Structure 1
Amino acid sequence: MADILWSAAEAAKATDGTPFGDWECRGISIDSRNIEKGDLFIAIKGPSFDGHKFVRTALKAGASAAIVSQIPQDCREDENLLLVKDTTKALEDLGHASRARTKAKIVAVTGSVGKTGVKEALASTLSNQGKTHATIGNLNNHFGLPLTLARMPRDCEFAVLELGMNHAGELTELSNMAKPHVAVITTIAPAHLEHFNSVGDIADAKCEIFAGLEVAGTAILNADNEFYARMKNSAVTQGVKNITTFGQENGDFTALSSTPNENGRGTEIEADLKGQKLAYRIAHNGSHWITNSLAILACIDAIGGDLEQAGRDLGELGQLKGRGAEHCVDLSTGSIRVIDESYNANDASMRAALEVLSHQKGRKIAVLGDMLELGPDEVMTHRHLQDAVDEIDLVFTCGPLMKNLHDALPAPKRGAHASNAEELAPLVVQTVQAGDVISIKSSRGSRTDLVLDALLALQPNGT
């Protein structure tokens, strides 16, 4: 059974609330549909929903208590409740209180590309060196971060927190809440450009992650990125004393050599880690994962972890759903391989996925959906992917933006185009054949995971 996270008295003190009943919780949820026994349900009130309508549902589902700003009509005052002025602020208060009481080393991760993959891989690697808590999925915003902090076990030794943003100013607030000991920016690339005037402005916004960095904390930067000098200057201006760099060409943590495994699964790397030579294997393909691994090792070194242990564990990383996970699907005539990159996309990550596909053996098929939030150049960004599919045999596309790529492709490369992923899925299914390698990539809003589901359904008896 999970350890106790909060008692009624502790939660009341943290939120300046009035408790009803004497209760303890072992988890926290803001969604009544996902309640587990022993959870504390927080009735968030938003512009289009009100969690107070679901308090009774949450309690019946096993919640130990609920935080409310008013007693719901279908609840009694003697039930396990915590009455506060504002439930959203109460969630933030719990996050702040959890951060204040923990002795864990905190790593905050952001970046235009790779932040979720680095977060997942870093958390997995650190879990072999101590009890580790991490952001679940992409709970990286003004709701997700305090929820992640509030869920942090009292006795964890490490926490890996993903911080995301769409606008300038957002990361400052999140960083001040997280108060990380280590803050890493994976890379800077065009993303969320509809809210920024330039990629340089994105770099400035990402550097807000240093706002809450602990006094003796470490900033970790990608020395290969074109905005490295700008990021370093921002870190120094914000008072950061310790800066560590990584990159395949430059940095304190850099790759000396890299060789794809003979079976095409993963890469063998020899690296220079601040003068220490380390040979290790990563279980993922693609040049971007070499860079990611160096960032991970830099983080582990910065919090005093064991680099040799981390190097061994990187080779054992499991597949990351939506970020390069591979599936082998048996057909009556053989099998196909499906690379799931459907979690999210911008120009840099799309090109990285296509590069990985280009090195595969067999007929190479790309299934691409719209990349969203790219700003005024979104049409040309999609069309210019034409040069990234030179080594791809067939390209299937969906969405109004990817129609620009479809129209720019030579006829032999055109698989098919559809207005959405649901319509594209059967067109892909009827085309694939034994020996094919299919890579699926888009922004989450384009829902190309539906194409993945359709391909996995080809497996006899399902997978």
Structure 2
Amino acid sequence: MALVWLGLHLVFVMGLGYYLATALQWYHYRVKRVVFHFHKPQWHVFFLIIPVAAYYVAGVYVWFYVIVAFFPMLVLWARKLDKPLVFTARVKRFFAFLFFATLFQDVLCLAAVTCAQFGVLMPLIATVVLSSAYEKLLFQGFYKKAKTKLAARSALKIVAITASYGKTSMKNFLAHILGETFVCYATPRSVNTLGGLVQDVNTALPENTQVYIAEAGAREPGDILEITRFLEPHVALVGEIGPQHIEYFKTLEAVRNTKMELVYSPRLEKAFVHQTTNTAPSERVRVFGGECLHVEATLEGTRFEAVFEGEKRAFATKLLGAFHATNLIACIHVARHFGLSFEHIAQQIASLEPVPHRLCRMDAGGKIILDDSFNGNFEGMRASYELVRQHQGRKVLVTPGIIESTKEENIALAEVMNEVFDVVMVTGQVNATTLMAVLKKPQVHLLKDKSQMEPLLATHTRAGDLILFSNDAPSFI
């Protein structure tokens, strides 16, 4: 019978571990963020607090709860996630630690006459501590290998890009603009953490690369400095600063100071920083943001005029959204630093293709669909709404609002929604109360579950409508 209890206990702890590993992976294995900044704390209650409390209170009857309630709920929860647990090497090591920690405790407990329960907290805590320590030790080896690889590439130029928003767009735009002149490699997707960059250098950076364009993200002060010390970029690009991720930084000044850590590179040749950084220009620091004279954004593309080196110059692109002008101006400055002519830069800008999920247009069933699900800041979202305003038919918005920003920004955005849209579908609960308190003119629908979206769109949209997917949030937010 003892072996039966041991088996049940092992399975139960592994189930708790599955939930914990999923939460840790979502928040980049930062325990503090999982504890203090988790967006769905009720999930902690259902899948950690109640099961652990039941285990210690209910005695042998807990197994009825585990079999009838806990595991069915966990399976249903995991199946509905749009960002499920990915079984990476790190996750597999986590479960190995958890299995052996649980087994070790249970064997000791079986050998002790006074042991009434195997316990579930100690294996989980021990696994988090031991796994974190092991991963840090492992990471040091990967880090040294990547640093050695970069140090051996003396001819390689590194451009590092950070901003509150627009990092990925600027990275992709710059790679395209420089791509016909240099062999460029840009970090894939939204890889922008120190761990992601170390892995990218070790496993993906091609040997023949002349310009490495890396995106640098941050959730805490010091994150950008760690990346700067690793990459030691020759060119730093700091884009527009705003209250994105303000819940982690607390103040806008902390955001600015963190982003500006990028200019501390010992190999820095030139830094291009947006005027919102409140930085004074110097020999190595160029401030941009005031060059634009005129922007014309339509549902067909964007044109803008800007002053460079004392002359007015015009650019046109297939990209949708007036906010792209600022990002492209930043890229033009960097391209000029690399010696490209304005004529060549203009040609490259004209041939740019939209970045996936950033105001990408699709026409289907007589409807215009704009996918802007990777745009998550106030200025960019407002600019996309102004673009939609041009449409003559009905306008439908699907959005969770602005994630990891202020209540005031969501209120201001909802006021624009009132002016522009006929139907607004609010996805998720994080900003629902704020948005729905302001929205008066549009027909409003609240989607608590993303599975409701397709039938709701089928019911409430028709040919001639424009549907904008503005920002997106995974189900754990």
Q: Taking structure 2 as the reference length, what is the TM-score of the superposition?
A: 0.68
Change (3 A) 1:324 1:403: same
Aligned-partner SS, 1:209: helix
1:433 aligned to 2:470?
A: no
Partner of 1:106: 158
How many aligned positions are there? 353
| Matching residue within 382, 407, 412 for 1:384 | 412
**Contact 2:399/2:426 (CA < 8 Å) preserved in 1?**
yes
Partner of 1:346: 377
**Contact 2:296/2:322 (CA < 8 Å) preserved in 1?**
no
**Contact 1:421/1:447 (CA < 8 Å) preserved in 2?**
no
Which has the higher Rg, Structure 1 or Structure 2? 2
**Contact 1:366/1:394 (CA < 8 Å) preserved in 2?**
yes
Give, as a single letter, the amino acid of the residue that structure 2 aligns with 1:165. Answer: A
Partner of 1:243: 285
Aligned-partner SS, 1:231: coil
Distance 1:134 1:94 in 2: 20
**Contact 1:370/1:446 (CA < 8 Å) preserved in 2?**
no
Give, as a single letter, the amino acid of the residue that structure 1 aligns with 2:309. Answer: K
Aligned-partner SS, 1:189: coil
Return the offset for 1:85.
10
Change (3 A) 1:446 1:337: farther
Aligned-partner SS, 2:368: strand
In the TM superposition, what are the counterparts of 1:164-203 in structure 2 within 5 Å? 164-203=217-256
**Contact 2:399/2:472 (CA < 8 Å) preserved in 1?**
no
Give, as a single letter, the amino acid of the residue that structure 1 aligns with 2:183. Answer: K
1:138 aligned to 2:166?
A: no
Distance 1:326 1:367 in 2: 15
Partner of 2:22: none
1:358 aligned to 2:358?
A: no
1:406 aligned to 2:447?
A: no
**Contact 2:395/2:465 (CA < 8 Å) preserved in 1?**
yes
Q: Larger deviation: 339-348 or 174-183?
A: 339-348
| Matching residue within 141, 159, 180 for 1:128 | 180
Distance 2:390 2:95 in 1: 47
Change (3 A) 1:447 1:322: farther
Partner of 1:327: 362
- Structure with bigger helix share is 2
Q: Which runs of 5+ in 1 are unaligned?
A: 1-30, 35-42, 54-83, 449-463
Return the offset for 1:87.
3.1
RMSD of equivalent CA atoms: 2.8
Aligned-partner SS, 2:200: helix
**Contact 1:417/1:424 (CA < 8 Å) preserved in 2?**
no
Return the offset for 1:184.
0.9
**Contact 2:224/2:261 (CA < 8 Å) preserved in 1?**
yes
Distance 2:86 2:444 in 1: 43
Distance 1:324 1:286 in 2: 7
Aligned-partner SS, 2:363: strand
Return the offset for 1:116.
0.8
Q: Which runs of 5+ in 2 are unaligned?
A: 1-84, 100-134
Q: Deviations over 1:262-297 (max 9, x none)?
A: xx3112223222224432212212221111110110
Distance 2:476 2:442 in 1: 22
- Structure with bigger strand share is 1
In the TM superposition, what are the counterparts of 1:34-433 in structure 2 within 5 Å? 44=90, 48=94, 86-102=137-153, 103-150=155-202, 151-212=204-265, 214-215=267-268, 217-223=269-275, 225=276, 228=277, 230-232=278-280, 241-247=283-289, 250=290, 254-260=291-297, 264-329=299-364, 331=365, 335-374=366-405, 377-378=406-407, 380-389=408-417, 390-400=419-429, 401-410=431-440, 412-433=441-462
Return the offset for 1:432.
1.4
Return the offset for 1:423.
2.2
Return the offset for 1:49.
5.4
Distance 1:265 1:50 in 2: 53
Return the offset for 1:194.
1.2
Aligned-partner SS, 2:224: helix
Q: Deviations over 1:223-244 (max 9, x none)?
A: 3x3xx4x3338xx6xxxx4122
Change (3 A) 1:356 1:260: closer
Change (3 A) 1:325 1:50: farther
Give, as a single letter, the amino acid of the residue that structure 2 aligns with 1:266. Answer: G
Give, as a single letter, the amino acid of the residue that structure 1 aligns with 2:344. Answer: Q
